[in-house]
Amino acid sequence: MAACGYLQLADQLREGAPVYFNRYAQGYWIFSRHDAVRDIYKNPELFSSESITPWEPDPAYRFIPTQLDAPEHLKYRRIVNPWFSPARVDAVAGMVHDVCRKYVQDVAPRGRCDFVTTFALQYPTEVFLTMIGADPEKTDSFVAWVEDFFKGFGGDPDGVEPMLAALASIRGYWEGAVADRRGDPEPREGDLASHLIHSAVDDRPLTDTEILDMLVVLTLAGLDTTRGTLGYIFWHLAQHPDHRRRLIDEPELIPYFVEECTRYYTIIFGDGRKVAHDAEFHGASLKKGEMVYGLVAGANRDPRYWERAGEFVLDRKKNNHFGFASGPHRCLGMHLARRELAVGVEEWLKVIPDFRVDTDQPLMERGGGSMTTLLELPLAWEVAS
Amino acid sequence: MRLSVDADACTGHGRCYRVASALLTFDDEGYVSVRGQAIDVPDHLRDAAEEAAGTCPELAISLLDD
């Protein structure tokens, strides 16, 4: 689809009706407006995370902790929360800047690049691997695996085989890491895999299956999302020299700008939940076992809730969007993600204050089943000789 | 003004203590440190408190005028 096509679709659905029943697959409810999406997130007792994929009510896989409900969910979540807490992100801030600068300095003299493949994929991947004590030398491997996984995840039949191979490679990497650390008497400092081996739930150690599930889901969830949002951020900046100038002059606005990008260019088209018991909900009679799909991209741009909903307001205040979801399953990596996005803008603009989109062709995005993301973003800038 | 944080609603987005860092901070897991409590808001931080309440995706923050 052409870039921002999914956002336009979300806007159309939201303005067309508050609720739909989509007959695709087994059929599922779509709630398109802010009030219903908020209430889905606010009621995890009614809306279970047992499945979060609306066209797959009984998935063969179970991601931990993503697909667990209370009280189990919080037991696992508490094990990983401190690894992605604001305090931990503050502690690694220097590393985030260093890694980012390295990629910016590498690309700057070239005068042009595909932003997605030379920056948006590598920089957050290397930061993430370093932060959890994995091997940063594996950045390029993880980039390729995560790419292959999400290409297939969208439903392209040709993509299924590479997707499964990529999943096996990611799992294989973590199996090796866990085996390597298994015999350690103490957890290794700053090493998430080692920490999980030494963690307990209900007074028993985590099983290998649980550890691998957690590491795989963190890898997949943590790497594709930052890449998606970085793409839209820099596409926006390439088209808005006034916004670039303002962020250079007032860098304290960068966090506000990042939040507005996360709202305006929402990369979560929708979020699925499974109905736990019969209920009346925003005009629909839901039956136990049915699936619902809250249109997050619709909610984040709903004029019934937001002032200037369809407008990009760089320093928007009270921007309580659902770009990182909401409720008990809110994005675990949100504090790291925000830091990566803000540092990415800051360090890039310091070295490359002016740049433009370097193609006459329309940019394309993928989305649907996975996060919305630009496939390519060719950028160009003047290089001082 | 008093500011209170609903302990069940807060999931640790961290928006409040970033936009109102003079008033609020975080605990080890990233929740606001005054989760489940009510605090007094000094007059000069009323705007910050209002921004914090308005920026919470969980609507976990309530403000009460004296």
Q: What's the mean pLDDT when you consider all of chain A?
A: 95
Predicted local confidence at residue A60, as pLDDT: 81
Predicted local confidence at residue A384, as pLDDT: 79
Confidence of residue A151 (pLDDT cuts 50, 70, 90): confident
Structure tokens at A89: 């992100």
Q: pTM (2 decimals)?
A: 0.95
Structure tokens at A255: 């966090």
Residues of A in contact with B56 (CB under 8 A): 320
Please identify which residue in the block is written with the tokens 């398109």.
A32
Q: Which strand (E) or helix (H) includes residue A6?
A: helix A5-16
Predicted local confidence at residue A154, as pLDDT: 65
Alpha-carbon distances, residue A322 vs A21, A34, A331 (angstroms): 22, 9, 10
Confidence of residue B2 (pLDDT cuts 50, 70, 90): very high
pLDDT tens-digit readout, A325-336: 999 999 999 999
Neighbouring residues of B21: CB distance < 8 A, sequence distance ≥ 6: none
pLDDT tens-digit readout, A50-103: 999 999 999 887 889 999 999 999 999 999 999 999 999 999 999 999 999 999
Alpha-carbon distances, residue A120 vs A103, A226, A244, A294, A378 (angstroms): 10, 7, 18, 27, 12
Question: Which of A343, A310, A314, A122 has its CA nearest to residue A236?
Answer: A314
Task: Look up the CATH number of the domain holding residue B24.
Answer: 3.30.70.20
pLDDT tens-digit readout, A260-308: 999 999 999 999 999 999 999 999 999 999 999 999 999 999 999 999 9
Compute, in degrees rounded to 10, the torsion defined by CA atoms A292, A296, A325, B3.
-110
Compute, in degrees rounded to 10, the torsion defined by CA atoms A96, A101, A106, A108.
130
- Using a CB–CB cutoff of 8 Å, tell me whether A91 touches chain B: no
Q: Counting every residue, how long is chain B?
A: 66
- Using a CB–CB cutoff of 8 Å, tell me whether A86 touches chain B: yes
Neighbouring residues of A229: CB distance < 8 A, sequence distance ≥ 6: A261, A262, A265, A267, A337, A341
Predicted local confidence at residue A152, as pLDDT: 78
Domain count, chain B: 1
Predicted local confidence at residue A155, as pLDDT: 64
Q: Say how far apart CA A264 and CA A329 lie, in whole Å.
A: 21
Q: Say how far apart CA A114 and CA A93 lie, in whole Å.
A: 26
Pairwise CB contact (< 8 Å): A86 & B14: yes
Predicted local confidence at residue A132, as pLDDT: 96
Question: Which of A372, A113, A160 has its CA nearest to residue A266?
Answer: A372
Pairwise CB contact (< 8 Å): B57 & A322: yes
Predicted local confidence at residue A160, as pLDDT: 85
Predicted local confidence at residue A244, as pLDDT: 98
Nearest CA in chain B to A256: B19
Pairwise CB contact (< 8 Å): A318 & B51: yes
Size of interface A-B (CB pairs under 8 A): 54
Can you tell me the mean pLDDT for A212-228? 91
Predicted local confidence at residue A369, as pLDDT: 67
Sequence ranges of the domains in chain A: 5-372
Predicted local confidence at residue A36, as pLDDT: 98
DSSP A187: P
Gap from B25 CA to chain A (nearest CA, Å): 10
Contact A258, A342 (CB under 8 A): yes
Neighbouring residues of A43: CB distance < 8 A, sequence distance ≥ 6: none
Compute, in degrees rounded to 10, the torsion defined by CA atoms B36, B40, B41, B42.
-160
In the sheet with A378-380, reading across from the earlier edge strand, the strands are A112-114, A378-380, A356-357
Confidence of residue A157 (pLDDT cuts 50, 70, 90): confident
Q: Say how far apart CA A343 and CA A339 lie, in whole Å.
A: 6
Can you tell me the mean pLDDT for A22-30? 95
Contact A375, A365 (CB under 8 A): yes
Q: Say how far apart CA A326 and CA B57 lie, in whole Å.
A: 7
Q: Say how far apart CA A39 and CA A175 lie, in whole Å.
A: 39
Angle, in degrees to the nearest 10, between helices A72-80 and A208-239: 70
Q: What sign does the dihedral A365-A226-A349-A310 (CA atoms) show?
A: positive
Which range of residues forms the domain containing residue B60?
2-64
Predicted local confidence at residue A107, as pLDDT: 97
Q: What sign does the dihedral A209-A214-A220-A221 (CA atoms) show?
A: positive
Gap from A162 CA to chain B (nearest CA, Å): 35
Supply the DSSP string of A100-146, one letter for each residue.
Answer: HHHHHHHHGGGSEEEHIIIIITHHHHHHHHHHTT--GGGHHHHHHHH
Can you tell me the mean pLDDT for A210-234? 93
Confidence of residue B66 (pLDDT cuts 50, 70, 90): confident
- Using a CB–CB cutoff of 8 Å, tell me whether B46 touches chain A: no
Secondary structure of residue A173 in the 3-state scheme: helix
Predicted local confidence at residue A177, as pLDDT: 96
Give the β-pairing of A291-294 and A28-31: parallel
Predicted local confidence at residue A385, as pLDDT: 67
Q: Which CATH architecture has domain A5-372?
A: Orthogonal Bundle (1.10)
| Residue with more model confidence, A230 or A147 | A230
Q: Say how far apart CA A135 and CA A157 lie, in whole Å.
A: 32
Nearest CA in chain A to B12: A330
Confidence of residue A37 (pLDDT cuts 50, 70, 90): very high
Q: Say how far apart CA A162 and CA A147 lie, in whole Å.
A: 10
The identity of residue A52, as a single letter, is: I
